[in-house]
Amino acid sequence: MRSAEKKSVPLWKSDELDSPIPPVVEPAYFDQELNAWVLSRHADVLAALRSRSLVMYSSQLQTEEDERAMARMRAQTIEALSHVQLRTWADAISLTIDETLASLPEDQVVDLLEAYLRPACLALAAMVTEIEEKDAASLRELAHSVSASAAEPADPVLRENARAVTPELQACFHAKAESLRDSGFVALSHTLPCLLANGCYALLEHPEQWTILHKQPASVDQAIEELMRYAGLSRYLRRRATEDIVLAGASISKNDQLILRIVAANHDPERFACPNSLEVLRREAGQLTLGAGPHACVGASLLRMASAAILRPLLTRFASATLSGSVDWHGGSGFRAPTQLPVVLRETHHEKA
């Protein structure tokens, strides 16, 4: 059961990446404080994500017109993220990254987030959302409160701050596909650095896994799936039942809410062998960090391309990286990520004596 922290806010300490306790995976139960069913087994969470009797949680009732608009937006995004387009962005971002990568110092402390991950993601965000590069930094600043609210959706002050800046932010983006405007910019300039920072933190905690990828950079694509499983960002997703159903062994009534614990599902021993160890060459598919089913993240191909384009050159150049200082965390029940990543990077690997 959940450790009682804040009533009505789903917070499981064991779902935090820096927690010494692994996530607890348990049968579905109804949590009185959260007023929601809680699902944490991989099979249960996947069944819920695929169920047509559950809709994305929202205080508004979702109409059929909302569903149709969402389907149009998905189709438009898939068209905008063609293989050719992804390849073009990957090539363009590689050129930008070369310069940033070359500026990273060896053998001295550098904040990997500030010096590499954030600028690389911001350059990509500007490219994909078709804004002028010179405007990117100020728009990133403006978008901060939207990202902060996504990280802690239960905080009404953060929600109000996000709501207040949204019209100004929206007016700055004009890409053809709706998902590649302001929301895509927030996802690429704020959320993606968080996802990559969690992945890098996991590699820093497991230096032998960094070394494997330095020696086998062709395995980075595969490793990204494992980093999303082990150190993914989304901690939980919400759903609401549109009819009475039996799911995960629970009798769920129409309008009941559900909390799907993504972190726990990604660490379910029934689904993943040795779930609490990071193995970058693992071949088990099925991580749920980008959701699954009809509402799975439609930006997934873009995120995979971007993650590989940003991480592969870093891992190729540096044989090792050592965490050098304490890491602070930001965010909340939605997602958490390091605020900074102080590291010492080395081009040659020094084996321990």
Residue numbers at the binding site for ligand HEM (CB under 6 A) = 56, 70, 74, 77, 179-180, 184, 187-188, 191-192, 195, 233-234, 237, 290-291, 295, 297-299, 302-303
Taking the complex as a whole, how short is the minimal distance between the CB of residue 211 and ligand HEM, in angstroms?
Answer: 26
Taking the complex as a whole, how short is the minimal distance between the CB of residue 348 and ligand HEM, in angstroms?
Answer: 32
Residue 288's contacts (CB-CB under 8 Å, 6 or more residues apart) are 42, 45, 46, 49, 232, 262, 265, 266
Taking the complex as a whole, how short is the minimal distance between the CB of residue 42 and ligand HEM, in angstroms?
Answer: 15
Taking the complex as a whole, how short is the minimal distance between the CB of residue 332 and ligand HEM, in angstroms?
Answer: 15
Report the residue number, 72 or 163, with the smaller CB distance to ligand HEM.
72
Taking the complex as a whole, how short is the minimal distance between the CB of residue 262 and ligand HEM, in angstroms?
Answer: 7
Report the residue number, 110 or 117, with the smaller CB distance to ligand HEM.
117
Report the residue number, 192 or 264, with the smaller CB distance to ligand HEM.
192
Report the residue number, 90 or 297, with the smaller CB distance to ligand HEM.
297
Taking the complex as a whole, how short is the minimal distance between the CB of residue 353 and ligand HEM, in angstroms?
Answer: 39
Residue of this chain nearest to ligand HEM (CB atom)? 299
- Relative orientation angle of helices 207-215 and 220-231, to the nearest 10 degrees: 160
Chain centre to alpha carbon of residue 315: 20
**Three-state SS for 239?**
strand
Question: In whole angstroms, what is the distance from residue 15 CA to residue 278 CA?
Answer: 15
Report the residue number, 291 or 342, with the smaller CB distance to ligand HEM.
291
Question: In whole angstroms, what is the distance from residue 18 CA to residue 336 CA?
Answer: 10
Report the residue number, 128 or 280, with the smaller CB distance to ligand HEM.
128
> Would you say how long the chain is, in residues?
353
**Contact status, residue 49 vs residue 288, Cβ threshold 8 Å:** yes
Question: In whole angstroms, what is the distance from residue 310 CA to residue 314 CA?
Answer: 7
Nearest to residue 147, comparing CAs of 202, 185, 115, 175? 185
Taking the complex as a whole, how short is the minimal distance between the CB of residue 105 and ligand HEM, in angstroms?
Answer: 27
Question: In whole angstroms, what is the distance from residue 226 CA to residue 203 CA?
Answer: 11
Question: In whole angstroms, what is the distance from residue 208 CA to residue 197 CA?
Answer: 18
Report the residue number, 19 or 58, with the smaller CB distance to ligand HEM.
58
